[in-house]
Amino acid sequence: MAQESRPLFAGALSAILPPFLQDVSELREIPDNQEVFAHTSTDQSIIVELLEYQEGVSDSEAARYHFEDVASSNDAEGQSEVLSVEPLPLAQLTLTDCTNAWLLTGHQLVAKFNEEARNTVNIHMALFRLPQHTTDLLVTFNDPAAINPSSSSAVGGASLAPPSPWTYEDFSRLLCSLQLHNSSIFG
């Protein structure tokens, strides 16, 4: 099955994205430094973001730093856990500009729309460090473990088989196909 790379950030980057993908910028305002995609029929999402390079944070600690930053903005502090952080072998990547890359696995308890019910969200996060562009490039796959029945996300009654959820393989394919075409994006 041939899969084509799709442009990100107006073509400055590209990657193979999974099927059943909704570009969230068509639904609501997204900051310029982010590309946000939602699965059309699950609560899964993928975020590609260009962040300021964290000079004071060592390479091995940087993925954890960004994970905790996301946790605090999700109000999931103290309810998030890092399960593993591993180096991503550069030989597997097409993004050859990064000095090193990391893969973090963890989870967070996240409330939707200030509801009391909290959903466990499994998180796979890849960090590509680009110090020459003063950028930490972060790709996050949010994969809710289960839908809490009292949450507004638990909409029942679908009679047709829904599109298949994204898998870790989809995420991995995205990471390994990520390419940089125009470094002016970092300027």
Residues at the contact surface with ligand NAG, assessed by CB under 6 A:
182, 184
Cβ-based nearer residue to ligand NAG, 164 or 182: 182
Contact predicate 146/44, CB 8 Å: no
Cα-based distances in Å from 187 to 12, 13, 14, 33, 56:
12, 14, 18, 12, 21
Shortest approach of ligand NAG to residue 131 CB, angstroms?
A: 20
How big is the chain, counted in residues?
Answer: 187
Strand-pair partners of 88? none
Return d(Cα 150, Cα 148) in angstroms, integer: 6
Cβ-based nearer residue to ligand NAG, 150 or 184: 184
Shortest approach of ligand NAG to residue 184 CB, angstroms?
A: 4
Cβ-based nearer residue to ligand NAG, 73 or 184: 184
| Nearest CA-CA partner of 128 in 170, 72, 177 | 177
Cβ-based nearer residue to ligand NAG, 112 or 181: 181
Shortest approach of ligand NAG to residue 145 CB, angstroms?
A: 39
Is the alpha carbon torsion for 51, 54, 59, 64 positive or negative?
negative
Cβ-based nearer residue to ligand NAG, 122 or 179: 179
Shortest approach of ligand NAG to residue 10 CB, angstroms?
A: 7
Three-state secondary-structure class, residue 129: strand
Shortest approach of ligand NAG to residue 128 CB, angstroms?
A: 19
